[in-house]
Amino acid sequence: MTHVPHKADPPRTERRIAVLGAGVMGVGITVLALGHGLPVLLVDVDEQRLDRARSGIEQELRMAQIMGSLPADVTTGRLETATTTDAVGDATAVVEAITEIAELKAKALAEVSARVRPGTPLISNTSSIPIDELAGHAERPAEVVGTHFMNPPYLIRTVEVIRGVRTGEDTMAAVGSLLTALDRRQVVVRDAPGFVTSRVLHPMINDAARVVQEGTASVEDVDALMEGCLGHPTGPLRTADLIGIDNLVDSLRVLHQHTGDDGCRPCDLLLDKVERGELGRKSGRGFYDYQEEN
């Protein structure tokens, strides 16, 4: 029997992305998609966060275009926002980019899985949570796949793609096609806590913070040595500010829980900064002061 699309269904060749979560990564992924001409529905339960996101997206689009990191000959996609997932049904892909807490991500994926059409990839942008753990909460686990976009997504062209043990071939093909449309290079890895980038980077940042905590060197000196001697492009502690120190702590806790590696237990300095609200660039202060920039 031939399927006749509903009037509300967009043609399957027309991409429409739904992004869940209007935090730093949700905004960055939205900017990347809009800048490549794709319409985006950005969903967040907090209307005030959505208001801030709309303003931030406009600013980041301008900055990305000035920097030449988005195609100059493409009309910016249309942005819609919502506080519920009611309208995700006609999305051709859903990118979940909410807080790095497994229970919240699982709940979001379960909710959208019941709303989207079969065959729609459900992409969890997670830095550490095993994909198969999240896939078990979706109606169709084969449609769940992981990505780990680096911040900011419109500047960093390589994306870590995590294939869960139940992720289907059609889902992998759809994600690859989407990343090609976004002019991103994908590197596919197997499912594991922290995958590759976080499993290597986040414990290293934790150690860098511990060195400062123990008084061995200052924040600036740690970053200068890692940049000048080891070729790290920004230094681990400046990178922590870019990631968000609260996000980093959440990721380290997931890694510690799943691996038992004490090197992944967040050090006291990171925990103290989260308690004081010194979360990095997004809060105006982390290991460095950004208040004049904000």
Across 45-50, average pLDDT: 96
Residue 246: per-residue pLDDT: 96
Residue ranges making up the domain that contains 234: 198-282
Examine the domain organization and report whether 207 and 137 are in the same domain. no
> The domain that contains 277 carries what CATH number?
1.10.1040.10
Examine the domain organization and report whether 48 and 174 are in the same domain. yes
**Catalytic (active site) residue 137:** no
Distance in angstroms (rounded) separating the CA atoms of residues 211 and 134 = 34
Residue 14: per-residue pLDDT: 86
Examine the domain organization and report whether 170 and 264 are in the same domain. no
Distance in angstroms (rounded) separating the CA atoms of residues 77 and 75 = 6
Q: CA-CA distances (angstroms) from residue 27 to 96, 112, 115, 204, 274?
A: 12, 19, 23, 26, 21
Domain-located, residue 290: no
Examine the domain organization and report whether 54 and 139 are in the same domain. yes
Among 169, 190, 211, which residue terminates a domain?
190
Examine the domain organization and report whether 158 and 21 are in the same domain. yes
pLDDT, tens digit (0-9, with 9 covering 90-100), for 86-102: 999 999 999 999 999 99
Of the candidates 231, 252, 244, which has an alpha carbon nearest to the alpha carbon of residue 278?
244
Of 137, 148, 202, 256, which is the active-site residue? 148
Q: Which residues contact 2 (CB under 8 A, 6 or more apart)?
A: none
Domain-located, residue 237: yes
Domain-located, residue 183: yes
* 3-state SS track over 211-244: HHHCCCCCHHHHHHHHHHHHCCCCCHHHHHHHHC
pLDDT, tens digit (0-9, with 9 covering 90-100), for 187-209: 999 999 999 999 999 999 999 99
For residue 9, pLDDT over 50 is answered with no
Examine the domain organization and report whether 164 and 209 are in the same domain. no
164: its two tokens? 């869960």
